[in-house]
A and B are shown apart, each in its own frame.
Chain A
C-alpha cells in the first residue's frame, strides 16, 4: 500500500504570500501529525489530529499557521503571510490509532523556501 504522501514536494514563496501544504496519510490511519524540520535539525512538533479533531496545536509557532483535517483523512497546513524564518521542511506523519506506542509513518516532506 501507499505510504504518506505530501504535495508539493518543493514550494518557493515570496515573503508575505500564503501557502498551503497537503498531506495524504496512510488509508485508515486515525492520527495525523505535522512537524517542522529546520535545516540540520530534528523535526519539531507542530500539531496533532485524531480523525478530524485537532487535539493539540501547541507547537504552531504563530497565528499565521493553521491546520485542518475536515474529513478525518487529508490534512492541509496553511501558512499566511510567510516570513523567511518559515523556510523549513514540513513533515506529515500518521499512525493507525491514537493509542500509545504506535509507529509514526512519515511522508517525504515539503521543502518550503521563503524569499
Chain B
C-alpha cells in the first residue's frame, strides 16, 4: 500500500527567503514520486519527478527535491522564493507505470512581500 503525508498544510515565507515543503511517503515497492503545483483557479502542472535515477531532482522554476530512502522523504526546496511561487503544492506517489496514484493533501505556500 502507498501513502503520502505532507507535513504542513500551510507554509509562509518572505520573498527572497528559502522554501521547504515537506513530504513523507510509504510504499511497499520502489515508487515514483512527483511534485505538482496548482496556482489559484488553475490546473495542475508538474514541477519535478523522481524515478530511481539521481536522488537529487531538479525541476522547473528553480525547485528541486531530494529523495531520501532511509527517511522515506521527498522534500521540495527552492533557495529564494518569488511572489509567483504562491500556490498549492502536491506531493504524489505512484506505482511503476503510474496507474495507481496517491496525492498528498497539499501544502499552500504563501509568499510575503
Q: Does chain A bind chain B?
A: no
